[in-house]
Amino acid sequence: MKKKISLDEQTLKQKLTPEQYHILREKGTERAFTGAYVDLEDRGVYRCAACEAALFTSRDKFHSGSGWPSFELPIDHDSVDEHEDRTHGMQRTEVTCATCGSHLGHVFPDGPGQSGLRYCVNSAALSFEAEKS
């Protein structure tokens, strides 16, 4: 089980951009096809922009055409938490960072891989650590 941490909201407001804070802490979203990591093909690890916990790897990333970075699986089974989300008149599954509870995006059962899942994540909720060559 992943160790949970509590983040100071004032510190986060100073660390994050207003868009990142809105997405991560207020469950917002970025406009489709505007995020920095939608088309990124570099190899590496995607981390939570709030707490830097490792969440996804580039080897599990794919182009879904949705406008947001999409992953088949998290880096390990306890990297993210899933919660029922009935906002905006829809029934979805929200994905949050298991370490700090920040909102990342949603997971849908229409992925191409063996899991059949598509983790649709806001670029602004992530930071990217390139693989060392």
Catalytic residues: 120
- Location of structure tokens 């794919």: 62
Tokens of 57: 């790897």
